[in-house]
Amino acid sequence: MSYAPTPNVQCPPDADLLRSTPTGPSQSLHPNETSYIQTRQEKVVLDAWKSWLGDGSGIGYKLSDFKDAFPRVGIAVSGGGYRAAQYGAGSLSALDARNQTAKNAGTGGLLQVSSYLSGVSGGSWLLTSIVFNDLPTMHDLVLGNDKLHGWLLDIDLLIPGGGNIFNQENQWVYGAVLDQVYKKADAGFDTSITDPWARLLGYHFLNGTTRDNFFTNDSAHGAGVLWSDIPKVPSFSNYQMPLPLVVADSRPAKSGYNGTTAQLNWVVYEFSPFEFGSWDPDVSAFTDVAVTGTHLNSGEPDGPDKCVKGFDQATFVMGTSSSLFNVCCTCNTAVKRFADSPGRALVDLLRRLTSRVQTNADDVANWPNSFLGHKVRDFIDGARLKLELIDGGSNQENIPIGPLLVDARGVDTIVALDGTDEDDNSWPMYVSCLPEYSGRAIYATRNRTRNFLDSTHQPMPPLPANFPDFANFGLNRRPTFFGCDPKNNPPEFPMLIYLPNMPPYTEKHTSLFLDSAQTNIISGFLPGKTGADPNFPKCLQCAAVDRARYKQNSTTVLPRSDFCTTCFKQYCFDTANPPSAKDIVGRKLKFKNPDPSIKSFVQEHRIPLAVGVAGGVVVIAVIAAIV
């Protein structure tokens, strides 16, 4: 299996390679997406709601009163590298009915009733791994079982053979990775630092790499696995899987912009199992994901046999979503720390290895522009041959809520899993190195939808006036429901269930981050007290199903149950009566190594390796900036 695309293949007969969709009420989904969501709803989701909520009496409802008109749910997994990927996995484990602990608690089942699962940057690693490993349980996915080899997280992503980058094992991996990238370049396609980055990700997140074959060519290590093959995955073809969506930002081609933040009006792209494109009004168009890489002009290929196959490598999709190489060198503290470390030799090595494949822009993911000639007056890259795609959180939308707000998708309830790293102890909401990113993920989405996407997306529900207030109210350290009381029917915004990576109550971090994240999701919080809220799992059920009350008819909203009303008093954000951070007590904010005997290169260089800005990894971006 090869990472290199194949040019000059026969184009799909009688197929429109470019799909335009209008804005406003006529906005439309790809027919295959519409069919998948509807069929999953009928075959899986309805029964999953009944399995999760029973007869509804546990939360004060009679489930039959909802008449099978349940909310459409989407889950968004944030960026943040390995941390976000693991936090997302642990959180999904807490929402998975196949996890007996979660099922017994009452949170297990939310994953099964969800229609969409979106990921960005590190969250896209998790999502891609879930999809192409055929929707295993999260513990099996990360830790492995008799069929899966797990993520092998103890093997370093950048220096898998250990600290001496010139040893045989490291050189074997680098040589194999660069050989695949060279073949892509030799086939006539622009490459960049994102390509070897993508290939390294494949060693960990796609099945086939083991401890025994890691440093050999006995496995393709994810090469040749295509995003367009998702419909062939059994759990997708039998509708067991929420439809996956991965997000990437862009910078205007040839702009050379390398600031810390992409502009909110720059185009955001998404990858679905069926197409690649953007809902932004300036584009509002998509191309068949199986032929991305094909040169199109106004939707037409250069000839009937001028299509490209194999450009949509799954590793390149998640590498694109986490391609932060264009910005991170501005974080001076991290760069200096990294430059003074033994990792500097890695910079020199990758400069030498990648010198042959630097074409077009070397600090982004280079994608042929499938939208050349489309909306040239409005689309900033409408006359460009290439798209320059970057980390999907570069515009600060580091929780991929945006795709779930698309009007045509009709999502009623959004679950935001926030594993961002924004304070000195790696909790959400503050970045000491890059303060302009602090806590802005959901505010960036609010501002983007408000200012640029009002004709294509639902608005965000009411939030605190600004992101410092978000932290001052303690909302970054507890689960919170936003949008609990819309004024209209249908509601003017979705319900947003915000589940951040909360500091634990215990003295030590658990040795398995998965278990810690799972426990936090199940536990909720008690105002002014330590310990778990025994009612939170049912409160989560209340929030997930609440929009069903608005679906019975256009004039009457079913009353909220007394139990759920009590839950909402504790967990809903009320603009007139905001909570206080003083309610969050007894949390252990500082990292304490559960095994002090462990000392490694990664721990010694924790800041440059772990600082996440929009879900990227600083050290790799430094390499790209120096190359």
Domains in the chain, ordered, with CATH?
6-626 (3.40.1090.10)
Report whether pLDDT(236) > 70.
yes
Mean pLDDT of 286-290: 97
Q: Would you state the pLDDT for residue 440?
A: 78
Q: Would you state the pLDDT for residue 472?
A: 87
Q: Would you state the pLDDT for residue 255?
A: 76
Q: Assign 337 a pLDDT band (cuts: 50, 70, 90).
A: very low
Share of the chain above pLDDT 70, in %: 83
Q: Would you state the pLDDT for residue 289?
A: 97
Report whether pLDDT(361) > 60.
yes
- The mean pLDDT of the chain is 86
Q: Assign 599 a pLDDT band (cuts: 50, 70, 90).
A: very low
Mean pLDDT of 360-365: 84
Q: Assign 355 a pLDDT band (cuts: 50, 70, 90).
A: confident
At position 536, the amino acid (one-letter code) is F
Total number of residues shown for the chain = 627
* Burial label, 487 (beta-carbon count in 10 A; 0-12, 13-18, 19+): exposed
Stronger pLDDT, 58 or 329, i.e. the higher one:
58
Among the listed ranges 142-146, 362-366, 420-424, 610-614, which one has the minimum average pLDDT value?
610-614
Please name which of 131, 29, 117 lies closest in space to residue 74, comparing C-alpha atoms: 117
In angstroms, the CA 388 to CA 357 distance is 16
Report whether pLDDT(550) > 90.
yes
pLDDT tens per residue across span 180-228: 999 999 999 999 889 999 999 999 999 899 999 999 988 999 999 999 9
Report H helices in 332-464.
Answer: 332-339, 344-354, 441-452
Residue 491 vs residues 29, 213, 487: alpha-carbon distances, Å? 21, 53, 7
Q: Would you state the pLDDT for residue 607?
A: 31
In angstroms, the CA 93 to CA 143 distance is 13
Q: Would you state the pLDDT for residue 588?
A: 65
Chain centre distance of CA 105: 26
Predicted TM-score of the model (pTM): 0.91
Kind plus residue range of the DSSP H or E element containing 610? helix 606-610
3-class SS at 372? coil
Mean pLDDT of 275-295: 96
Q: Would you state the pLDDT for residue 206?
A: 96
Please name which of 593, 598, 622 lies closest in space to residue 608, comparing C-alpha atoms: 622
Among the listed ranges 73-82, 340-349, 399-408, 498-507, which one has the minimum average pLDDT value?
340-349
Among the listed ranges 44-53, 85-94, 445-454, 498-507, which one has the minimum average pLDDT value?
498-507
Mean pLDDT of 578-600: 65
Task: Provide the β-strand partners of residue 268.
Answer: 249
Mean pLDDT of 166-173: 88
Q: Assign 425 a pLDDT band (cuts: 50, 70, 90).
A: low
